[in-house]
Amino acid sequence: MRYVIQGRRRLEGQVRVSGAKNAVLPVMAATVLARRPCLLQDAPDLRDVAVMSEILRGLGARVRWVEYGGRRALEVDPSAISVTEVPDQLMQQMRSSIFLMGPILGRLGRVRISHPGGCAIGPRPIDLHLRGLEALGATIRERYGYIHAEANRLRGREVHLDFPSVGATENVMMAAVLADGVTIIRNAAKEPEIIDLQNFLNGMGARVKGAGLDAIRIEGVEHLEGAEHAVSPDRIETGTFMATAALVGGEIRIDNCIPEHLDAVIAKLRECGVTIREEVGRLQVTGSGRPLPVDVKTLPYPGFPTDMQPQFMVLACCARGTSVITETIFENRFKHVEELCRMGAQIKTEGRSAIVRGVECLSGAAVEATDLRNGAALVMAGLAAEGTTVVSGVTHIDRGYEKLELKLAQLGADIRRE
């Protein structure tokens, strides 16, 4: 599967952002804790959602798409869940499934999951997940590539995360909601998806407070009921469309988004000379097509998001000057550099930093996506480049972008899937 793109087309029109991959996945994992069906409105139809649905079915849940209020919704009935093992081949497809440990352990008292291993952007260790679950009383054994965790009843404790890991915060939150007593998570991740998870858990009857702040307090309860939940719009998809309008030029309106989730990205785009009008649930973006250079350093939320780093690298490739892009979150998230250089970009990497000297125009080429965000960045580069660009590895992009080529074509881009 690949995208064929003819570059140098300005974007005009409106686009509606889908529900967030990184919000719906932990919420789907959290349904394991409930005894009654849950309805996830505006869930995005993504490859990762399909994988998580298969995992939940393997545990004994019933998962299906339904129509709700004129929009698609995912219905999960977890009442018959009894299996405590996550199938290896599904685990290998999506390493973030590691945050299923907390809810399975919390609901059934044991879990076996294969070690997630690394991926294209780094080794992706899970030490903070495991230490957090151990702090709540789980016994954890790792052998033959599997992780076994057991706990008759988890008990509330103070958990300090060495790093504000998004997944580890979510894992411990979900393990703590049925534990005996109060859990405090310190140095918790503050991403909007953590607040989304808190809202969903509380909708099911949990008692969670403080998501979005440094410390999250979870008071254990006896059981959780089902809940209805509207999945938050995807802030990274929103940022990707904003950066694309800045790169190729044009004027677009982005609907179903939450501007305040993108403060750091909006500030950087304004530094690039992009005009951005913020309204409730909507953004109006006007790009000139040749951004000003800008320095970017990725940080935990509310700092500049690592998931927008590849997209800003492409902006820097076409900027009127030199930019420095520094990646502090993942160990190896510069895979797009060599592909962009094949399109005529001038990039030099030194450790965690990339020095990018802007060029007048990139040239189309055949390039390879290795993860969903660098895939989106290569699509952006193709939209800006002279001539034809072929992006292979589109299955990576399908993990986190729903109907990307249709949304871009609707804005006037010349892109087709083959």
In the chain, the amino acid numbered 272 is C
By the rule CB under 6 A, 203 interacts with ligand EPZ: no
25 binds ligand EPZ (CB under 6 A): yes
| Residue 329 binds ligand EPZ (CB under 6 A) | yes
Which burial class, exposed, middle or buried, applies to 154 when counting CB atoms under 10 A from its CB (0-12, 13-18, 19+)?
Answer: buried
Residues 349-388 that bind ligand EPZ (CB under 6 A): 372-373
**Binding of residue 235 to ligand EPZ (CB under 6 A):** no
Contact pick of 12, 88, 127, 225 for ligand EPZ (by CB under 6 A) = 127
Q: How far is the CB of 86 from ligand EPZ (least distance, A)?
A: 15
* Side-chain-facing half-sphere of 145: CA atoms under 13 Å: 10
Could you list the active site residues?
119
# residues near ligand EPZ by CB under 6 A: 24
Part of the chain binding ligand EPZ (CB under 6 A), chosen from 80-88, 161-169, 288-296, 404-412: 161-169
Question: What's 383's DSSP letter?
Answer: H
Closest CA relative to residue 372, chosen from 11, 21, 15: 21
Query: In what helix (H) or strand (E) does residue 311 lie, and over which residues does it extend?
Result: helix 309-317
- How far, in whole angstroms, is CA 51 from its chain's centroid? 15
Region class of 210: left (phi > 0), else alpha (psi between -120 and 50), else beta? left
- Residue 367's DSSP bridge partners are 391
Smallest distance, ligand EPZ to C-beta of residue 330, A: 5
Indicate which single residue of 13, 16, 71, 125 sits in contact with ligand EPZ (rule: CB under 6 A).
125
Stretch that binds ligand EPZ, among 107-115, 118-126, 210-218, 352-360 (CB under 6 A): 118-126
Q: Which of residues 278-317 bind ligand EPZ (CB under 6 A)?
A: 306-307
**What span, in angstroms and rounded, lies between the C-alpha atoms of 398 and 387?**
24
Residue 53 Cβ, how far from ligand EPZ at the closest point, in Å?
15
> What is the 8-class DSSP label of residue 256?
S
Cα atoms in the 13 Å half-sphere on the side-chain side of 358: 21
- The footprint of ligand EPZ (CB under 6 A) covers 21-22, 25, 96, 122, 124-129, 163, 165-168, 189, 306-307, 329-330, 372-373, 400
